[in-house]
Amino acid sequence: MKILCVLYDDPVKGYPPSYARDSVPVIERYPDGQTVPNPERIDFRPGELLGSVSGELGLRRFLEERGHTLVVISDKEGPKSRFEQELPDSDVVISQPFWPAYLTRERIAKAPKLKLAITAGIGSDHVDLKAANDRNITVAEVTFCNSISVAEHVVMMILSLVRNYLPSHDWARRGGWNIADCVERAYDLEGMQVGTVAAGRIGLAVLRRLKPFDVGLHYTDRHRLPSEIEAELGLTYHPDAASMVPHCDIVTINCPLHPETEHLFNETLLAKMKRGTYLVNTARAKICDRDAIVRALESGQLAGYAGDVWFPQPAPKDHPWRAMPHEGMTPHISGTTLSAQARYAAGVREILECWFAGKPIRKEYLITEGGRLAGVGARSYSV
C-alpha cells in the first residue's frame, strides 16, 4: 500500500539534534479511563519532534518493514502541489489538524484507491465526511490524545487576555517599565463568569481547570452532563450558546465544526454578549465569522480574542486576525506539544496496525465506517 503523510515543515533552523527536556511524563489513561494508544511497538522516543516532515510520525521503519510505501510531504495547497500529485494512487492519507490536507469531494474523486483517512490528532472536519461515506472511506482520529494539551492552552489564553500579558511582555522586551500601559487593560479572573460552548473532553477539562480560580462556570452542549458533575463543579447549564453568552465575561469554544456550528459566532451572537467579553477559540476558525470578530474587537464589543485556529491553515500573511487589536493568536499549536505528539503518533500506528491486520479500529477513534458516521463521529458530527 501507499501511505501519503502530510506534515508541517521542520523548524527553520533544521530538525533539532537535542531537546529542552530528556523525557515526557508517562500517562497510561485519560481522565475518563480510556487508555492511551497502545500499539504493538513504537520506533521513536517520546518527546521527539514527530509532527514535522523529518519526524515522519515515527512510521517509516514500521511501514517499510511490511512492504508499504511511505511518502511524507508538506506541500498540500493547489492543483500543482505534491499532495495533488501523490494522491491519485494513495491507499491511506494521514494529516494533522495543524497542517490539514483538505480532502474535499473533488480530491476524493481523484483518489480511486483511497480507503482510509487518518487524522493525527483530533478533529476531522478537513475531510468531507459525506463524500467519504459515499465512497465507503474509513475516517479515524486519535481521540483524546491531545485534549488536555488543548485545555491547558485555553486556560493559558484566558489568563493572557484577562491579565493583558502579551502587551506587558512586549513592554519588557522593548526595555520599558510602562506599568500604567501594562495594567490599563488588566483584570483579575477571580469572580468572572466563564462559559464553554461544548463540554466534551476538552470543554470539561477546561471547566475543571478553571474551578480553582473561583469563577462562575457555565456550559452549553447537545449532551447535558450528569447532574453529579454539574454539582461538583457548580455548573450552570444553558440550552444553547445564544442563551449562555449574555451571562459570561469569558467564552471558550470547544465544539466540533459541522453545519450547525459554522459561523455560530456571527454579528448577531456577538451582539448578545456583554460589552468587553473575552472570546477564546481553539476549536475551528469557521465557527466564528472572521470579519465579525475583527469588527467586534475594533468597536470594543469584545475586549480580546485569542485562539490558534485559522481558515485556511496555514493562514495567509494578510489574514486580518494577524493585525486586529487585542488579539492573542498563535499558529495552530495547542494540540501538538511534544507530549501530545508522542500520543497521536502512537495512535496513528495503532490504527494502521489494526487496519493492516483486519482488526476493528477502536470505536473511540472512528469517525466514519461502512458508509456512515461511526464511533465518536456519530456523537460529534453531523453530515
8 A C-beta contact, residue 306 and residue 332:
no
pLDDT band of residue 382 (cuts 50, 70, 90) is: confident
8 A C-beta contact, residue 335 and residue 98:
yes
Among 289, 221, 280, smallest CA distance to 256 is for 221
Region 64-85: what's the mean pLDDT? 97
| pLDDT (0 to 100) of residue 121 | 97
Instruction: List C-alpha distances in Å: 211 to 74, 90, 147, 219, 250.
Output: 40, 47, 18, 13, 14
Region 314-319: what's the mean pLDDT? 96
* Chain centroid to CA 189: 24
Return the residue matching grid coordinates 459566532.
265
- Write b or e for each residue in 47-58: b if 16 or more Cβ atoms lie within 10 A of its Cβ, otherwise e: bbbbbbbebbbb
Region 119-140: what's the mean pLDDT? 97
| Residue 269 pLDDT > 80 | yes
Domains of the chain: 2-146+336-374 (3.40.50.720), 147-322 (3.40.50.720)
Mean pLDDT in the chain? Answer: 97
Dihedral over Cα of 148, 150, 151, 152: its sign: positive
| Residue 228 pLDDT > 80 | yes
Pairing of strands 193-197, 69-73: unpaired
Rounded-to-10 torsion of CA 343, 367, 313, 94? 60
pLDDT band of residue 381 (cuts 50, 70, 90) is: confident
Region 24-49: what's the mean pLDDT? 97
| pLDDT (0 to 100) of residue 379 | 87
How much of the chain, in percent, has pLDDT values that exceed 70? 100
How much of the chain, in percent, has pLDDT values that exceed 90? 98
Question: Considering only 85-89, 169-173, 375-379, which range has the smallest mean pLDDT?
Answer: 375-379
- What does the DSSP assignment read for 41-106? --SS-TTS--SBTTTGGG-HHHHHHTT-EEEEE---SSTTSHHHHHGGG-SEEEEBTTB---B-HH
Identify any residues that bridge with 8 across adjacent strands, giving them in sequence order: 52
- What does the DSSP assignment read for 197-256? E--SHHHHHHHHHHGGG--EEEEE-SSPPPHHHHHHHTEEE-SSHHHHGGG-SEEEE---
pLDDT band of residue 383 (cuts 50, 70, 90) is: low
Return the residue matching grid coordinates 449574555.
246
* Chain centroid to CA 6: 16
| pLDDT (0 to 100) of residue 315 | 96
Return the residue matching grid coordinates 496513528.
348
Cα atoms in the Cβ-side hemisphere of radius 13 Å centred on 272: 15
Say if residue 25 is preceded by a cis peptide, omega within 30 of 0: no
| pLDDT (0 to 100) of residue 314 | 93
| pLDDT (0 to 100) of residue 380 | 86
Give dist(CA 145, CA 245) in Å, integer.
29
The structure's pTM equals 0.96
| Residue 173 pLDDT > 70 | yes
Contacts of 3 (CB under 8 A, 6+ apart): 59, 63, 68, 69, 70, 71, 90, 91, 92, 93, 94, 352
8 A C-beta contact, residue 236 and residue 182:
no
Region 304-321: what's the mean pLDDT? 97
- Write b or e for each residue in 144-166: b if 16 or more Cβ atoms lie within 10 A of its Cβ, otherwise e: bbbbbbbbbbbbbbbebbbbbbb
* Chain centroid to CA 62: 27
Region 214-236: what's the mean pLDDT? 97
8 A C-beta contact, residue 378 and residue 222:
no
8 A C-beta contact, residue 94 and residue 83:
no
| pLDDT (0 to 100) of residue 170 | 97
Q: Which helix (H) or strand (E) holds 367?
A: strand 366-369
Region 74-99: what's the mean pLDDT? 97
Positions marked active-site? 146, 284, 313, 332
| Residue 277 dihedral angles phi and psi, to the nearest 5° | -75, 150
8 A C-beta contact, residue 219 and residue 195:
yes
